[in-house]
Homo-oligomer: A and B are copies of this chain.
Amino acid sequence: MIIDCHGHYTTAPEPHNAFREAQKARLKDPSLPEPVYPDISDDEIRETIEKNQLKLLTERGADMTIFSPRASAMGHHIGKEETSIEWSRRCNDLIKRVVELFPDTFIGVCQLPQSPGVPISHSIAELERCVNELGFVGCNLNPDPSGGNWTSMPLTDKSWYPFFEKMVELDVPAMIHVSASCNPNFHATGAHYMNADTTAFMQFLQGDLFKDFPDLRFIIPHGGGAVPYHWGRYRGLADMLKKPSLDTHVMKNVYFDTCVYHQPGIDLLFEVIDIDNILFGSEMVGAVRGIDPTTGHYFDDTKRYVDALKISAEDKRKVFELNARHVYPRLDKALKARGK
């Protein structure tokens, strides 16, 4: 089967987005009434999925998506901790409804109620709720809740450890994923996302996090940012910083997805990164929605690029299915329970 490890609910029903707008409006004008989360019917949800993710998934020949709230809308920098808690719970509950409506196609990954300056331990309760009560299999962890000002400590700092302990205890991975940027220097999907991916990898390289957490697992999305293209630089930096080689120091715990929107990029990814560290992903419907005039196909139809690789059927199965089942053990369990 073919599992897309990276999908966001970018097409959520309009009333859901309107709730968020009302929440933001009240931050500016506290005299406004507290917004009431709207009733959203199953049909409304069904329609947004059937016309978009499900349609494209079927057309492209994939089977399921590891599904999380829209990353650019997480907006951890907006409001206070309470704002983020309320919004995250609503977003995660909506993902749960998608999963209930399409249980064979979607499985949930949660947004965390991060907020600048708030200890990450405050996100543990929502992670536990999503995993233990909603059946989610992982989370999206934002290394920069400030939204482009980068005011937190690196991911290797001990302040993150309580959350990592919980991830290990629950046996769930995190995808490193920033949200929108409120820094005018950084376009969200064109700069901030890429930079966060590259930054996170380099933090892992500089630190020794995986000595302390040998079972911790991260997915760095968007093909690992700049990292595979500069694999020689990173191997060289590990050497200069007197770290072990990357395969033991970082790559037992870090995985890249295939959200790289052209064939030469995918070719490079598979040339330099071990097959066991690559998970199929498309971020569909996401950052780039158009059709590539040079191919006539959607930029984000990454399955085509993987299909075109001259790799063994066994390796393809790893990328399309087995690696995801390994990185997300709760997904594997859920599939096995269904005889898959």
Residue of B nearest to A272 (CB): B264
11 contacts between A and B (CB under 8 A): A150-B185, A223-B230, A225-B226, A229-B229, A232-B260, A232-B265, A233-B261, A235-B262, A236-B261, A236-B289, A264-B271
Q: Choose one: B149, B152, B299; the contact of A235 (CB below 8 Å).
A: B299
Tell me what chain A mostly uses at the interface: helix, strand, loop, or mixed: helix
Residue of B nearest to A153 (CB): B184
Q: Are B299 and A234 in contact (CB under 8 A)?
A: no
Closest 10 CB pairs of A and B: A232-B262, A232-B261, A236-B288, A226-B226, A229-B229, A190-B202, A195-B195, A236-B299, A191-B202, A239-B290
Q: How far is A264 from B271 in the complex, measured between Cα atoms in Å? A: 7
Q: How far is A265 from B186 in the complex, measured between Cα atoms in Å? A: 24
Interface string of A260-303 (1 = CB under 8 A from B): 11101101100110000000000000011110100000011000
Q: Which residues of B contact A189 (CB under 8 A)?
A: 233, 237
Q: Are A232 and B292 in contact (CB under 8 A)?
A: yes
* Given pairs A144-B185, A233-B288, A235-B262, 8 additional interface contacts (CB within 8 A): A153-B184, A187-B202, A194-B195, A194-B226, A230-B262, A236-B261, A236-B290, A240-B288
* Distance between A9 CB and nearest chain B CB, rounded to angstroms: 19
* Distance between A186 CB and nearest chain B CB, rounded to angstroms: 6
Q: Choose one: B186, B234, B268, B300; the contact of A264 (CB below 8 Å).
A: B268
**In the complex, A228 has a CB within 8 A of chain B:** yes
Q: How far is A225 from B222 in the complex, measured between Cα atoms in Å? A: 14
Interface string of A125-148 (1 = CB under 8 A from B): 000000000000000000110001
Q: Choose one: B150, B185, B290; the contact of A240 (CB below 8 Å).
A: B290
**In the complex, A58 has a CB within 8 A of chain B:** no
Q: How far is A144 from B150 in the complex, measured between Cα atoms in Å? A: 14
**In the complex, A183 has a CB within 8 A of chain B:** yes
**In the complex, A48 has a CB within 8 A of chain B:** no
Q: Are B190 and A194 in contact (CB under 8 A)?
A: no
Q: Which residues of B contact A190 (CB under 8 A)?
A: 202, 205-206, 233-234, 237
* Distance between A39 CB and nearest chain B CB, rounded to angstroms: 33
* Distance between A317 CB and nearest chain B CB, rounded to angstroms: 24
**In the complex, A154 has a CB within 8 A of chain B:** yes
Residue of B nearest to A262 (CB): B232
Q: How far is A205 from B189 in the complex, measured between Cα atoms in Å? A: 12
**In the complex, A179 has a CB within 8 A of chain B:** no
Q: Which residues of B contact A223 (CB under 8 A)?
A: 229-230
Q: Are A198 and B191 in contact (CB under 8 A)?
A: yes
Q: Are A230 and B265 in contact (CB under 8 A)?
A: yes
**In the complex, A199 has a CB within 8 A of chain B:** yes
Q: Are B288 and A152 in contact (CB under 8 A)?
A: no
Q: Which residues of A from 172 to 199 have beta carbons under 8 Å from B?
A: 183-187, 189-191, 194-195, 198-199
**In the complex, A213 has a CB within 8 A of chain B:** no
Interface string of A288-323 (1 = CB under 8 A from B): 111010000001100000000000000000000000
Q: How far is A240 from B187 in the complex, measured between Cα atoms in Å? A: 13
